[in-house]
Amino acid sequence: MKSTNKFANNNIKFDGGQLALPNYLEAELEQYCLDLESCFFGVRIDDLRRLAYEIAEANGFDREKKIAG
Determine contact, residues 59/25, Cβ cutoff 8 Å.
yes
**pTM for the full predicted model:** 0.60
Q: How far apart are CA 48 and CA 36, in angstroms?
A: 12
Read off the pLDDT of each residue in 26-55 and give the average, rounded to a whole number: 89
Domain layout of the chain by residue ranges: 20-61
Place 38 in a pLDDT band, splitting at 50, 70 and 90: very high
Of the two residues 51 and 59, the one the predictor is more confident about is 51
